[in-house]
Structure 1
């Protein structure tokens, strides 16, 4: 069960998928002298998808990429942008221009200088990227104003730009490596480490610490190694034996932590439930009735499913805005009090007293939740025919069904939540249909146009509206958990399946 949940998290993360001053220095690799944090050996869930930041996945690639590359912006534990190679930034009054001030004195590991021209080269490359391009959809152009200033001109206001840049979409690459197309195999950045020659692709990656990195205090560990170990039992054994000292955790790892006095950290990462793809009932009439959608919220006992399937690691809720973050309203957590009786009554009012028939997709990854759906649907008189398929086919085909069992990644940034979960097409929500719900469309518009100081209030109104309309059937928000030895602490970030090296520190 735990392996299935972990595999699902990887699949979703792969599918989805924002002012300090300082100076740079020589980026010549050293033997590691002067490091104060000791070794850092990370037990990763997944292998690196690509060393090329334009093709890499934000979810699990963070530790790999953050070793090699410096970003323009990073994020803190709340997903708020923080300085990196960009020491400060300013957004124009009309929200159509972002001006970045760059750090000086930084070089890439091949000796090239990092400056505004190099930054624009990387940004242009990222904008064209198959995955990284999602951050720059509203960018018209990047301009090198002078050696240490970059201007980002937007076609329209974009409140998610800096968030996505900080989340992993602003890694700076050496211009020559971009030009010769070698990044995927030979990464060249200005980061705190370089990829070591003793690395074995798919098995273990070793990194050489860079001498006099401009942000050396942020990266005190030496040596650094990352071990991709998808099997949870093998990863837990590696932690117990001392091969790794940071683990992407399951129940066994959390028990190990308690027994050994290790540190644990957790934060919600994605919501679990039914994703509706035809709320207007254009292809499947029942879902077009709000009472039917509400019935499917009342019928599921999220707390019980969280306990039995999710081992209690998360928050029972009916909303998609992450627990404890802007836009989330604790008052909505029990909006739908579990009641089969009420659910049946709502279905009867909608004209479906005897339920209805439908097909839904199923793959091995989601089978842990299938019994809960079967039982609820049986109680409601709903007859479901499961169409079994492999996960990659599920990802492609599930959105063509009126509803499907989902684990969908969440974002720290509330505007990103609005756009990714409600208003903009995504693989899991190809036709948002907000145009069929004038009140929802109007509130989305208010959110995107709101003064920054008033925006969260407008988002809360939207959250209330879509939860009332049963835009989804959310059962709970699941945690990502991490275990580390007593000398290491982790700061999880909602939006990252595995934190970057900036979120891994020596415990004070």
Structure 2
């Protein structure tokens, strides 16, 4: 069986960044500017990585997980296809795959000798059970809406048939929809707190504010795992998390770009790199004045993105009006210049045309992290200049997750993932009626047809044009998501911790980290 060649996100992103003159170095140490840490010898294979996180996992059941949960899920689960932190598509629980019938089928050859944490055997029946369970209910229903049937051809072979040409599913099945859970655990209501996967680690303890994992010695690729376990503890905000690393309470954590200098000055190792997340405003298009496209368009033009990037993020959060940064295959080159999209006069004119010449009042919800509250305050000041009077409501971490999931919000300042599991899923979730994060029922005219075109092939050179057309069209009709800036992922580690890669599309791999005591 011939494995289909798929261009990775990392390759395309890297090419774009080089062309943009951004570089992609790999130096290490306190001034590291590359996307990976170097490896070191003499490491302690029994050491436990202490990783500081902003909140607890929403659920270990992939059907109930939230967009920021992969940092936890990737520890205990594996998908049919492996997407590395750098974005490379590689064999996972499937060793080979083949697209067929004009991309309406994918046949997988499965890895043999794999065991779940509870001792169950991984096989084609397990794949079928997980996929069919995900189709019935939960957060993955939309991602698998095009899947027509799952057929077991042999214990190590499974065939997926789709309703339409679906080459894009190679990317999707490298994310949460491709996770395979032990069949006996799928119907267990305790799965939310007791994951049973095939990953390099298994859950050890789960308590308030802390979750720990121990190495799974029955892992099929056990030699890759170079630490004894992981302990993830919750620290309320970015400043607290960084202090935990500086004081030795934690070995590493993600930080904000504004904390790079402080981290380097403290002798910490810093890694950084572009990824497919962005900061923006998620709008409930059924909420009061926000139902009017001209109002949403006015918000788009009221934001000085370059000022926010410079003053809040040390120019490392790239100003943007589209979901994906320069260099990624679905990025629209002509939209990378954001200057035309900061126009206070035009924003005021749009509000007047909408019937609000004196502006109006609205609420903006934000989570507990200090950096997002600071961003909310900056947006509050800028929207005030065009007459939109914003009140900020701070929600706890879980409250924010629930608000976004249930649609019970007005507008939220959010970190949004545009590339996971595939950029087309972002379109389906946010721009089309029935989308998981589209409580207002926004529906981009012609969007469904363009989306179908963008999903036919696994070749991104064929997929780019319809995706780019979607991103251009949505700006013209009052977008339900107002991008502000594209994130640079930054993490800081104490000396002696190496091997971490920047998660370009939100995929984490802690197994090969090395810790020198």
C-alpha contact (below 8 Å) 2:99/2:167 kept by paired residues: no
Q: Distance in 1 between matches of 2:405 and 2:126?
A: 37
Deviations 1:232-261 (A, max 9, x none): 444323322434322122444762245315
Provide closer, same or farther for how the CA distance between residues 355 and 70 of structure 1 changes in structure 2, counting only shifts above 3 A: same
Q: CA deviation at 1:363?
A: 5.0
Write the mapping of 1:135-146 to structure 2, written as runs, cut at 5 A: 135-146=143-154
- Which one of 218, 225, 232 corresponds to residue 227 of structure 1? 232
In the alignment, structure 1 residue 319 sits paired with structure 2 residue 326: no
Aligned mate of 2:215, from 209, 217, 238: 209
Q: Is the 8 A contact 2:168 2:456 kept in 1?
A: no
Assess, with a 3 A threshold, how the Cα gap between structure 1 residues 450 and 206 changes in structure 2: closer, same or farther: closer
- Contact 2:85–2:502 at 8 Å: present in 1 too? yes
Secondary structure of 2:68's partner? helix
Of residues 418, 434, 438, the one that matches 1:429 is 438
1:329-478 correspondence to structure 2 within 5 Å:
329-337=332-340, 338-344=342-348, 350=353, 354-362=357-365, 365=368, 367-380=373-386, 382-384=387-389, 386=391, 388=393, 390=395, 392=399, 395=404, 401=410, 405-412=413-420, 413-426=422-435, 428-434=437-443, 437-438=445-446, 443-448=450-455, 452=459, 453-469=461-477, 471=479, 472-478=481-487
Separation in structure 1 between the aligned mates of residue 70 and residue 423 of structure 2, nearest angstrom: 23
Deviant stretches of 4+, over 6 Å: 396-400
CA contact under 8 A between 1:302 and 1:475: conserved in structure 2? yes
- Distance in structure 1 (CA, Å) of the matches to 2:455 and 2:166: 8
Q: 1:323 to 1:379 in 2, by over 3 A?
A: same
Distance 1:191 1:473, change over 3 A: closer
Partner of 1:15: none
Question: Do the aligned partners of residues 212 and 357 (structure 1) sit closer, same or farther apart at CA in structure 2, a change above 3 Å counting?
Answer: closer
Q: CA separation of 1:430/1:327 partners in 2, compared to 1, >3 Å: closer, same or farther?
A: same
Q: What is residue 502 of structure 2 aligned with on the other side?
A: 492
Cross-structure match for 1:302: 305
Structure 1 residues 295 and 389, CA, compared in 2 at 3 Å: closer, same or farther? closer
> Is the 1:254–1:483 contact (alpha carbons within 8 Å) kept by the matching residues of 2?
no
State the secondary structure of the residue aligned to 2:176.
helix
CA separation of 1:218/1:470 partners in 2, compared to 1, >3 Å: closer, same or farther?
farther
Equivalent position of 2:114 in the other structure: 106
Distance 1:160 1:79, change over 3 A: farther
Give 5+ residue unaligned stretches, structure 2.
Answer: 5-42
Equivalent of 1:248, from 224, 248, 254?
254
- 2:500–2:513 contact (8 Å) kept in structure 1: yes
Once the two structures are TM-superposed, the CA of residue 267 in structure 1 deviates from its matched residue by 3.2
- 2-side partners of 1:430 and 1:411: how far apart? 21
Q: Distance in 2 between matches of 1:195 and 1:343?
A: 51
Q: Which residue of 1 aligns with 2:136?
A: 128
1:43–1:229 CA contact under 8 A, matched in 2: yes
Which protein has the larger Cα radius of gyration, Structure 1 or Structure 2?
Answer: 1
Deviation string 1:331-356 (CA, Å, 9 cap, x unpaired) is 312244334345445666x4769344
Residues 317 and 477 in structure 1, CA contact (< 8 A), matched pair in contact too: yes
Matching residue of 2:81: 73
Between the two proteins, the alignment pairs up a number of residues equal to: 461
Q: Which moved more, 1:45-54 or 1:221-230?
A: 45-54
Q: Is 1:82 paired with 2:85?
A: no
- Assess if the C-alpha contact under 8 Å between 2:227 and 2:514 holds in 1: no
**Bigger shift: 222-231 or 447-456?**
447-456
Q: Does residue 176 of structure 2 align to residue 168 of structure 1?
A: yes
In structure 1, distance between residues paired with 2:458 and 2:169: 17
- Deviation at residue 148 of structure 1 after TM alignment: 0.5
Using the TM superposition, give the Cα deviation of residue 111 of structure 1 relative to its aligned residue in structure 2, in angstroms: 3.0
SS in 1 for 2:119: coil
Whether contact under 8 Å (2:78, 2:198) holds in the other structure is yes
Cα distance in 2, alignment partners of residues 80 and 431 from structure 1: 35
TM-score, normalised to structure 2's length?
0.75
C-alpha distance after superposition, 1:468-508 (max 9, x if no partner): 55535432223342223454133233553x72436x6459x
Contact map agreement 2:74 2:508 (CA 8 A) in 1: no
The aligned counterpart of 2:54 is 45
Structure 2 residue 245 is the aligned partner of structure 1 residue 239 = yes
Q: Provide Cα deviations, 1:380-432, integer angstroms capped at 9, x if missing partner.
A: 3x25364857563854787775x665543322533223323323533542345
TM-score by length of 1: 0.76
Distance in 1 separating the partners of 2:187 and 2:437: 34
Q: Distance in 1 between matches of 2:301 and 2:209?
A: 46
Give the superposed CA RMSD.
3.8
CA distance in 2, matches of 1:149, 1:296: 51
Q: Is the 8 A contact 2:351 2:359 kept in 1?
A: no
